[in-house]
Amino acid sequence: MNAFILDIDNADPVHAFSALQHLPYAIFLDSADRSHADARYSFICALPLETIEAKNGVITVSNAQDQTTYEGDPFAVLRDRIAAYNLSKQTIENLPPFQGGAAGFFGYDLGRSIEKMPSSAADNPDMLDMAIGLYDQVMAFDHQLDKAWIITHAKSQYDASEKQNIFINALNEAPRIGDFTALSWDANFDQKTYEENTTRIIEYIKDGDIFQANLSQRFDAELPQHFCAFSHYLNLREKNPAPFAGFMNLDDIKIASASPERFLNTSEGIVETRPIKGTAPRSNDPKIDAQNKKILNESEKDRAENIMIVDLLRNDLSKTCTPESVKVLELCKLETFARVHHLVSTVRGALHKLAQPIDLLRACFPGGSITGAPKIRAMEIIEELEPTRRGPYC
């Protein structure tokens, strides 16, 4: 297949996606560039060539022709399917970096396909462990240049135009965004139990089992009849401006996400991870804001927590990077975001020539900053103490 580019004038990504969000596996992504500023790019995907879904070790691959079921490693199946469409090698310079390929979510519990884990937390029966679409067409926006393109991989200009017309027609439709609805949330922990489990983790640390663990809690809410998930995402993005955000309409599963942290980035064989550990609030008062930054910068606890995860990620990157290429470029650098200050480290390495990005993701999965260190023991303790599985967490 060849790549065909169509320039789009005066296109608004939110307007465009609002008209496309009902399509199968419609995904909206915001992403920063390597300068780590606010999100520079937006991407819209819909109508994938194929979907790959996994649940408890069963992988289902579906396309227009058939549906095939596998058992085993979801990462290996995904790598094979990307290679089958040759989607990972079709990149055009001077355009936004995502130009087609795999997009979706990798749930925390995919870690069970890599390591043998206990099963004590309650499963989420209606939630997949992985849901990925393979896309040969992307609408890409560069907010810095104020430009937009439809990037289509097809056999001919005629085939490309047929596909592009679906997106072009959507630009002329009226936005389909419902009103935002505030929700009433209930936690899966009460405060007493959460504090008891935190104390249990401290005991594990004192006993030498782990250095740290990330204990999380889940909040649930009943959705009203006409709840608009995309409106919920837009409200989240407004309340929590973040360099990495996205909305996914994956049939019965809809995900809204906004985060300051990109787990992994790979470009031209260079791998980068930027773990965040250490947080302080922003303040409208410059003196208080400066004081919060100073306290965070001098926090022995926060710096130790960050350094532990850096060591973990150095080891994870070394599984797929060339020997001695993994380096720490920045350690516990203070960075300021819209609502908080963070301590951020930067680790880079050179991906081995035989390794693919999916191999890198598998080697580092799940991210150390959401497990703890050592990773496997921290995951076992998380399974013991959290009442429900995490699903598409972080």
Please name the helix (run of DSSP H) or strand (run of DSSP E) that holds residue 130, with its range, or none. Answer: strand 130-135
Token pair of 303 as six digits: 């710096």
Neighbours of 217 (CB within 10 A): 14
Is 277 a residue of the active site?
yes
Place of tokens 């920045």: 330
Token pair of 365 as six digits: 């999965």
Whether 218 contacts 186, CB under 8 Å: no
Residue in 50, 53, 261, 386 annotated catalytic = 261
Is 261 a residue of the active site?
yes
d(CA 266, CA 97): 11
CA angle 57, 63, 69 (to 5 degrees): 25
Residue in 55, 254, 277, 375 annotated catalytic = 277
Neighbours of 268 (CB within 10 A): 7
Query: In sequence order, what DSSP letters do the residues of 150-218 get, joined into one string?
Result: EEEEESSHHHHHHHHHHHHHHHTSPP----------EESS-HHHHHHHHHHHHHHHHTTS-SEE-----
Closest CA to 331 of 349, 352, 311, 315: 311
Burial pattern 278-314, b for ≥16 Cβ within 10 A else e, equals bbbeeeeeeeebeebbeebbebeebbebbbbbbbbbb
d(CA 133, CA 81): 10
Question: Could you list the active site residues?
Answer: 261, 277
